[in-house]
Structures are given as C-alpha cells and as structure tokens.
Amino acid sequence: MISIPESSQDAKDPVRYDVSVIVLTHNSRNSIDCCLESVFKQHVSAEVILIDSGSEDDTVSHVKSTHPSVKVKSLRDNVGYSKGNNIGILEASSEILAILNPDAILLDDALMRLVRLVKRRERAIVSPVILLPGSEKVNASGLACNPLGFGFPRGLGVSKEDARQNESVSGVSGCCIVARKDTLLGIGAFDDDFFMYNEDVDLSWRAHLLNYETVIETSCYVQHEYKPEITLFKLMQIERNRRIVLKKYLPFRWAAILLPSLMIAEAISTAAFMRFGLKGVSARLSVWANSISLSPGKIRGNLANLQKHLDPVFPSEPTLTGSEVETAVRKATDVILKINWRLIR
C-alpha cells in the first residue's frame, strides 16, 4: 500500500485535467490501440498515463509513435497490477483518477458519467457496468465480496438492461475504477503484495472498513476482453490473495462462526487444484505453506460498516472445476454461509 506524498503532483504539470487515466500494460500491443482510442473519444479533458510493466513486445514504442500525448513510464520488470497502478497513481496530476485495463474499451460517455458521479460522492470508489466482448451481456456489475474472501462478478451473463440504477455494492471491479486521488491515497491504494487477482477485493474490504463506499454507475459501460478460463497460475494467485484478505480483515470471532463455510470453501478450491494433477497438488501445498508464512498484519477500522456491506453469497456459477458436483456443493455452501453470517449479525 502507498501513503499520501508530502508534495503535490500539481507542480509537475500545470495543466488542469478533469481526470487522469492510468493504463497498466504488459505485452498489450494487440489491445492498447482500442483502449486508448476509446479514452480519447470521451468528452472530458484527460491526462493519459501508460505504465508499462516489463513488456517484451513493442507496446511502448508503438504507443510513443502513434499516441504522442500519452505519458509513458516504462518499467524494467513486470511488477504486477497493484504496484504498477500505484506508480501511476503517484504520477497522476488530476484530482480524479481512472484505473483502466488495457483490454477494456470505454463505451459512449462512460468516463464523463463516472467523473460526474465521483464529484457528487466524494468518498466513493466507482465502477461502470463491465460488458462481455461484443455483447450486451454483463461481465460484472461490481463484485459480490463474500466473508470468505472471494469476489464474484455480480450479474455475470445477464442483460445490461437489468442494471438500471446507481447502487452501492460490496466491491468494485479492478477492470475500471474511478475515484478521487485523495480517496485512493487515503485508504492506501492497492496492496503491492497482490501481484494479480483479488487486489480489487482487498481494496473494497479496506474501503468499507475505513468508511468509504463502493458504487456502480449503471448508466455507463465498459467492454472487457474477459477470459473465464482458470489456469493454475491464476488459481494460485486467487487462493493466495484470498488468504491475505482474510488475515488482514477477518476478526477471530467471525472466523470461528464461519468455520463450516471456510472448510467447504477449502474443499472446493482443493478440488480445483486437483484438476491439474501432480502440478496442482504441488501448487496447493505451496499456497498453504505460503499462507502460513504470510503475516500482513490486521487492518483496523469500522467492522460494523464492513459487515453491512459484505455479501453472504456463494453463487453456483461460475465453477472452478466445471462439475455438477461442485455446483451442488456451492448451492449448499450458499445456504450454510447465510446461516453462519446471520449468527454474526
């Protein structure tokens, strides 16, 4: 996590922008043009900052030659989502920031609407409705952050018309986030310990704990090249980072009451690792060993507000294994989790 710097970034750039758009790239040559062009079409004054995280293709040289107004900062190594975006946050000169994935496309006046909402709700961290590529179907209308450390995409596969009004949600999607710079710095921005995945879950838990809000602006949309497949690397990152979230925020009393649900979640994730054979077994053991050694330290704050915003849900889809057995277990887990959560309330 990062803290508020002593000096203002305004001294670096006297131009006043409506928003600073931060795009983190890594071998993103095939998608970056569509992303940047969608930003330039927005009816706002935008400072565009590209942080390249150790690309091995020609992303940097291409952007410099075709989009000279973009401020490019090239990093030697791939530092991951959290650290890369934190660097962009510190580089930005605007009071309002937008974090945008390089494979995401802003549709219509999405950025202008998001900026307007942030101006009205100063303590809000806002996301649009994320759409599946070439579709009117929803990828995520925010996240359903449950007390077990998972962040499930809300509304996956439903029509975009089903999301009709702005609403507070338990989590925002890291695909596109808009907030005031002092809001992000005030909660520590992203945790550098999260290389990929669940960094948005961590940010959302921390926001609620520190009395900020996470909101979906349902009148604007972003298209995202969402890839639903679960690789072993992705599974390891999700499970490792889920454990960090629980270690940082979950009180001992909550953990004790949630123990049945936590144990079932462990069984589901273990089954997902087993799909990869011996490599999966080794990876599972590695995640367990890593989670034992990690000591991130507890984050203190308003537990009542965090409790109010977490969603005690365990959706049956999407599954980690694709099996009917997992779907049935997930449905049972959803019931047990709701019962456990009621005891906490």
At 1 the pLDDT is 74
d(CA 88, CA 269): 33
Parent domain of 35: 9-224
Q: Is the peptide bond before 318 cis (omega within 30 degrees of 0)?
A: yes
Q: How far apart are the first and last CA of the chain?
A: 30
Task: Mark whether 53 and 170 lie in a shared domain.
Answer: yes
| Burial environment of residue 59 by CB neighbours within 10 A (0 to 12, 13 to 18, 19 or more) | buried
Check pLDDT > 60 for residue 7. Answer: no
Task: Mark whether 257 and 218 lie in a shared domain.
Answer: no
**Token pair listed for 75:** 């990093």
Task: Mark whether 60 and 115 lie in a shared domain.
Answer: yes
Task: Mark whether 215 and 112 lie in a shared domain.
Answer: yes
At 166 the pLDDT is 61
Q: Provide, rounded to the nearest whole percent, the portion of the chain with pLDDT above 90.
A: 79
Task: Mark whether 30 and 104 lie in a shared domain.
Answer: yes
Task: Mark whether 194 and 302 lie in a shared domain.
Answer: no
Check pLDDT > 70 for residue 11. Answer: no
Contact 79, 53 (CB under 8 A): yes
Task: Mark whether 210 and 236 lie in a shared domain.
Answer: no
Check pLDDT > 50 for residue 9. Answer: no
Task: Mark whether 73 and 219 lie in a shared domain.
Answer: yes
**Token pair listed for 214:** 């996470």
DSSP strand pairing (19-25 vs 46-53): parallel
* CA dihedral (84, 87, 89, 93) positive or negative: negative
Among the listed ranges 57-66, 133-142, 204-213, 254-263, which one has the minimum average pLDDT value? Answer: 133-142
Average pLDDT over residues 20-26: 97
| Residue that is last in its domain, among 224, 249, 273 | 224
**3-class secondary structure per residue, the chain:** CCCCCCCCHHHHCCCCCCEEEEEEECCCHHHHHHHHHHHHCCCCCEEEEEEEECCCCCHHHHHHHHCCCCEEEEECCCCCHHHHHHHHHHHCCCCEEEEECCCEEECCCHHHHHHHHHHHCCCEEEEEEEECCCCCEEEECCEEECCCCCEEECCCCCEHHHCCCCEECCECCCCEEEEEHHHHHHCCCCCCCCCCCCHHHHHHHHHHHCCCEEEEEEEEEEEECCCCCCCHHHHHHHHHHHHHHHHHHCCHHHHHHCHHHHHHHHHHHHHHHHCCHHHHHHHHHHHHHHHHHCCCCCCCCCHHHHHHHCCCCCCCCCCCCCCHHHHHHHHHHHHHHHHHHHHHC
Average pLDDT over residues 43-53: 96
Average pLDDT over residues 54-67: 96
At 5 the pLDDT is 54
At 326 the pLDDT is 84
In the beta sheet, which residues pair with residue 19? 46
Average pLDDT over residues 184-208: 96
Task: Mark whether 189 and 258 lie in a shared domain.
Answer: no
Local confidence band at 135 (pLDDT 50, 70, 90 cut-offs)? confident
Task: Mark whether 69 and 156 lie in a shared domain.
Answer: yes
Average pLDDT over residues 201-224: 96
Check pLDDT > 50 for residue 10. Answer: no
Residue 2 lies in a domain: no
At 317 the pLDDT is 77
pLDDT in tens, 297-313: 889 999 999 999 999 99
Local confidence band at 3 (pLDDT 50, 70, 90 cut-offs)? low
Query: How many CB atoms within 10 Å of residue 331?
Result: 12
Residue 21 lies in a domain: yes
d(CA 32, CA 38): 10
Task: Mark whether 75 and 95 lie in a shared domain.
Answer: yes
| Domain count within the chain | 2
pLDDT in tens, 273-299: 999 999 999 999 999 998 888 888 889
| Residue that is last in its domain, among 224, 245, 264 | 224
| Residue that is last in its domain, among 224, 240, 258 | 224
Average pLDDT over residues 88-105: 97
Rg from Cα positions in the chain = 20
Average pLDDT over residues 125-150: 94
Task: Mark whether 37 and 86 lie in a shared domain.
Answer: yes
